[in-house]
Amino acid sequence: MAPSAGGRDERETVRDLLGGHGRTYADEAGIRLKDTPQPLYELLVLAHLLSARIRAATAVAAARALFDAGMRDARRMRDATWQQRVDALGRGGYRRYDERTSTQLGDAARLVLDRYGGDLRRLRKAAGGEPERLRDLLCEVPGIGPAGADIFLREVQGVWPEVAPYLDRKALEGARRLGLPGDPRKLPRLVRKEELPSLAAALVRAALDRHVVEDVEEAHARHAAQA
């Protein structure tokens, strides 16, 4: 996509992007994200699943299947059997990594319970409001590497204000494909603060799927024709 001409075009690009692709991954997975233990843990599980080399839609479906099976908090995830986790992942279509992921989910749940009492707000407190420290602590959770930590932080910035703005390399790659600024200091100026999680998710979709960029280009063309 050709670079935007400046302020107005960039804002129009962002509006078109959010209008068509601005749903957060947490929302897709049925997570009503707020700063309480259960949805924060659900987001951690979703970030774990999304970080594998698998379609995002499959990861979202697998997260929903785990939650539908009752594994919505660290205690229930830990207490589920390995096979119950495998079966839920399979129902979500997450078959390529199901056995390893089942083991990691159990190990991760135990760590979250042992270290944070099942409450990721304690992880936030341990980080002392430092996003990089948050990222480091998240990477200590089994199954959560740098990619998973980035996913969690992109989504949680809406309820943990000290994280915002959080636009990682994948989001910035999407911005460049759309002709938007590749500077994490400039991009946030194009949206309201509460829209940052949606912007981050939409930019990641643009990085992963050329059809997202094409959708935005078509919307831009329609605007130009109407002007």
Q: What is the 3-state secondary structure (H, E, C) of 125-136?
A: HHHCCCHHHHHH
Give pLDDT tens digits for 52-61. Answer: 989 999 999 9
Enter the pTM of the model.
0.93
Upper half-sphere CA count for residue 109 (Cβ side, 13 Å) = 22
3-state secondary structure of 81: coil
Residue 151 in tokens: 């996913």
Give the residue among 226, 154, 212 at the shortest CA–CA distance from 14. Answer: 212
Give pLDDT tens digits for 118-176. Answer: 999 999 999 998 999 999 999 999 999 999 999 999 999 999 999 999 999 999 999 99
